[in-house]
Amino acid sequence: MEKYKNLWERWADNTRRFPDKDAIVHWKAGEEPFRWSFKNLFDTANKFSVLLQKQGIKRDQVCAIIIRHNPMFFPLYLGIAGLGAIPAVLAYPNPRLHPDKFKSGVEGMSQRSGLDWIFTERDLEPIISPLVTKEGSTIKGLHFPLEWDREFTLSREDSALLDSIRGSIVETDPVLLQHSSGTTGLQKPVLLSQRAVSDHVDNYAESINLTKEDKIVSWLPLYHDMGLIAAYHVPLAYGITSIQVDPFEWVLAPSLQFEALNAEKATICWLPNFAYNFMADRIEEDEMEDISLKSLRLVINCSEPVRNESHKKFVAAFQKYGFNPLALSASYAMAETTFAATQTTPGEPIFTLEVDRESLAQGKVVPPVPGKASRVCVSSGKVIKGCVVRIVDETGKELPENGVGEIIIQSVSMFDGYRNYPEKTAEVLKDGWYYSGDYGFKLNGELFVIGRKKDIIIVAGKNIYPEDVEDAVGAVEGILPGRVIAFGEEDPELGTEEISVVAETPYEDETEKKQLIQRVRMKGTSVDMTITNVYLVPPRWLIKSSAGKPSRKANKERIAEMKDLNKQ
């Protein structure tokens, strides 16, 4: 394995080794894809570095990029990194998002992350520009790089300056800032070093048996670690092709990813769990005409607890189009360790384990008990090279195999702390261990992730995982699949929590809704859970996190606000 001083050196090496190979295939519905060869991509990145330098962008300054799916995003991002500045990708506003909400989200991020510059599109100027002039703003200015003239040749002086800057970037310098998942504006800014990302590329590539023939296909947004690290940084540093589909287009027509995959013979993709259900539900048979999924050797599930039912549904929908069930794979990943900490073995079936659900909630992994509810836990694989994973109890003591507790991680690709947020860093980073806040257990070297520690509902001393409630309610007729969240609400009289669910339904008729609430409660009873509060809401009501999943915290707060309003 070659050692590089910084990522730029590594990218430049790929440019020399594979000048004409596709680095990025930019996919857009109904258009010829735009192809960046490694050479063209880096030539353009150099031009952006020069243009950025002339605009006064300096080393270590944080440069936020808010640009919708555009081929120029890629060289711009590299051009920023090539100046020793720090690119930070922020979400382009969803058309449904109110401009004020978007503005307050960017403002929150800018205050927390200390954004220096924003690179965006002219359309967003009226919304973002007031943030620059606002008192106390860290933002020095807005730029519209898609309008910049790139028709020039680098002068000898330009090249010398860039060489000198790049020659001075060392492996401990920051290379990017990514935001951990969460509600926009409250996300934590994760700073990663050159070495963290480069080492992660090598270690993760080894865990998925990556070869130079592999091709990544992704619709994942690049403001999320799964999209940015797995589907952009890994292929770029490894010297392979990444096919990038527009996330907004994917939501409207998820078959677009398969169209791109089929045309380019892609081999690997990453998906969050909800996408398995979404694709299986939304893609119609007639959209799969002439599409073969045979080239896919890995579909890696990460970013949320892996659900066995989702995998089954995906296989049932797509095996007839050449999808190999052994391509199902899983990983446990987070922004704070750059990306992955564990990975299942490519080409082998994922290890699943059926356990008694009640015992699991009490922290014990025991076989299912006849007549009682069980849960199928899906492995997220073995620990990858460069990482150590332990399960600990409340006191931080390591638990033996089968013990359920908090997952803590050590990694050579650990983040350098949350930027401008020492108190939060101290909360999660202790003695070199990252306390993930996730619950899980290990068995035979495999990690099983059960859920988020802070989301656990405690009803009269009994732990309930919201995932279990959501899975049960999601199966009730009249509830939109995947559009349910569960959380605990304090019952001051009883002195404990009660289970509440918020679920989207297309029903509008009050009688139908009453019957549906009844069915939801009965479903809860059938799996030994008393669901006290059922809030039925219309489609698209639930607030989603930056990862695209309905957010438990944000929706719980929304319900609380509504209840407060009703009391007034």
Partner 1 sequence: MISERLKSTILKQLELEDYDIQDDTKANTVPGWDSLSHANVILAIEKEYNIRLKHIEVLKCKNIGDLQVLVDSKLS
- Write out the residues near partner 1 by the rule CB under 8 A: 29-30, 95-96, 249, 252-256, 259, 282, 284, 286-287, 540
Minimal distance, residue 286 CB to partner 1, in Å: 6
| End-to-end Cα distance, the chain | 66
Q: Of 22 and 259, which has the nearer Cβ to partner 1?
A: 259
Q: Of 157 and 508, which has the nearer Cβ to partner 1?
A: 508
Residue 217 main-chain phi, psi, to 5 deg? -125, 135
Q: Of 30 and 136, which has the nearer Cβ to partner 1?
A: 30
Angle at 57 between CA 52 and CA 61, to 5 degrees: 130
* Per-residue burial over 474-508, b = 16 or more CB atoms within 10 Å of its CB, e = otherwise: bebebbbebbbbbbbeeeeeeeebbbbbbbbbebe
Q: Are 506 and 466 in contact (CB under 8 A)?
A: no
Minimal distance, residue 289 CB to partner 1, in Å: 9
Minimal distance, residue 290 CB to partner 1, in Å: 12
Q: Of 253 and 376, which has the nearer Cβ to partner 1?
A: 253
Q: Of 84 and 254, which has the nearer Cβ to partner 1?
A: 254
Minimal distance, residue 121 CB to partner 1, in Å: 15
Burial of 276 (0-12, 13-18, 19+ CB in 10 A): buried
Q: Of 123 and 348, which has the nearer Cβ to partner 1?
A: 123
Q: Of 284 and 394, which has the nearer Cβ to partner 1?
A: 284
Q: Are 199 and 110 in contact (CB under 8 A)?
A: no
Distance separating alpha carbons of residues 473 and 464, to the nearest angstrom: 14
- What is the CB neighbour count within 10 angstroms for residue 521? 19
Written as one string, the DSSP assignment of 97-111 is S-HHHHHHHHHHHHH
Q: Of 18 and 248, which has the nearer Cβ to partner 1?
A: 248
Minimal distance, residue 10 CB to partner 1, in Å: 36
Written as one string, the DSSP assignment of 412-454 is TT----BTT-HHHHHHHEETTEEEEEEEEEEETTEEEEEEEGG
Q: Of 71 and 488, which has the nearer Cβ to partner 1?
A: 71
Written as one string, the DSSP assignment of 487-518 is EEEEETTTTEEEEEEEEE-S---HHHHHHHHH
Q: What does the block give as tokens for 435?
A: 């306390």
Minimal distance, residue 95 CB to partner 1, in Å: 5
Minimal distance, residue 282 CB to partner 1, in Å: 7
- What is the CB neighbour count within 10 angstroms for residue 427? 12
In sequence order, the β-bridge partners of residue 34 are 26
Helix, strand, coil: what percent of the chain each, to 5? 40, 25, 35
Minimal distance, residue 100 CB to partner 1, in Å: 17
Minimal distance, residue 45 CB to partner 1, in Å: 30
Q: Of 10 and 69, which has the nearer Cβ to partner 1?
A: 69
Q: What does the block give as tokens for 244?
A: 């990038």
